[in-house]
C-alpha cells in the first residue's frame, strides 16, 4: 500500500508519525453550506492509512461531508507557529465499522477520556454512533 506520509527517517516524517501515534485531538475542518470552513476538535484513530472518527448522529459535519467530502485535519501547533501538520483528504461515513465500544484500538486509546467524560465505553458509543473514515491525499507542514 502506498503512503502519503513523509519518510519517518526525516525530521518532519518522524514528527508526523509520532503525532499520529500519540495525539488525542485533531482538528477536523469541513465546509458549511455557505462555503465557510467549520473546524472542530475530534478524537481520532490513525490506522490503515486512514483516520477513524466517531461523531454525533445529528452533527452538522455529516451534512457538510455529504455535500463536500473534501476535508482538512490538523494538529495544534506549538504556540509559536511551529510544529504544523495539515492533512487534506476525503471523508465518508463508514457504516460497516463497529461501534466505538467494540473497536478495541479506539476504546483503548480513549479509555481514560471516555471514563472521565462518559463513564463507560457504551455511553460514548451511544452518544457518538456514526463512524467516519477520512482518507488523506496530502500532508504538509513545517
Reported as a single tens digit per residue, the pLDDT across 55-108 is 999 999 999 999 999 999 999 999 998 899 999 999 999 999 999 999 999 999
Per-domain residue ranges of the chain = 11-96+132-141
Identify the pLDDT of residue 93. 98
Residue 24 DSSP symbol = S
Identify the pLDDT of residue 1. 62
Residue-wise pLDDT tens digits, 4-23 = 999 999 999 999 999 999 99
Q: Are 17 and 5 in contact (CB under 8 A)?
A: yes
Q: Which helix (H) or strand (E) holds 59?
A: none
What CATH code would you report for 11-96+132-141? 2.30.110.10
Residue-wise pLDDT tens digits, 126-138 = 999 999 999 999 9
pLDDT band at 2 (very low <50, low <70, confident <90, very high): confident
Residue-wise pLDDT tens digits, 109-128 = 999 999 999 999 999 999 99
Q: Which of 137, 133, 127 has its CA nearest to residue 65? A: 133
HSE-up (13 A, CA, CB side) for residue 10: 8
Residue-wise pLDDT tens digits, 19-56 = 999 999 999 999 999 999 999 999 999 999 999 999 99
Amino acid at each position: 500500500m502506498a503512503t502519503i506520509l513523509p519518510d519517518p527517517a526525516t525530521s518532519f516524517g518522524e514528527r508526523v508519525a509520532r503525532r499520529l501515534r500519540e495525539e488525542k485531538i485533531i482538528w477536523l475542518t469541513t465546509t458549511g453550506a455557505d462555503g465557510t470552513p467549520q473546524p472542530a476538535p475530534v478524537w481520532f484513530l490513525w490506522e490503515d492509512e486512514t483516520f477513524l472518527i466517531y461523531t454525533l448522529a445529528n452533527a452538522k459535519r455529516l451534512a457538510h461531508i455529504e455535500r463536500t467530502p473534501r476535508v482538512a485535519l490538523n494538529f495544534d501547533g506549538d504556540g509559536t507557529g511551529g510544529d504544523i501538520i495539515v492533512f487534506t483528504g476525503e471523508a465518508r461515513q463508514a457504516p460497516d465499522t463497529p461501534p466505538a465500544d467494540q473497536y478495541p484500538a479506539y476504546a483503548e486509546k480513549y479509555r481514560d477520556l471516555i471514563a472521565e467524560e462518559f463513564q463507560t465505553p457504551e455511553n460514548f458509543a451511544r452518544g457518538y454512533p456514526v463512524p467516519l473514515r477520512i482518507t488523506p491525499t496530502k500532508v504538509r507542514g513545517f
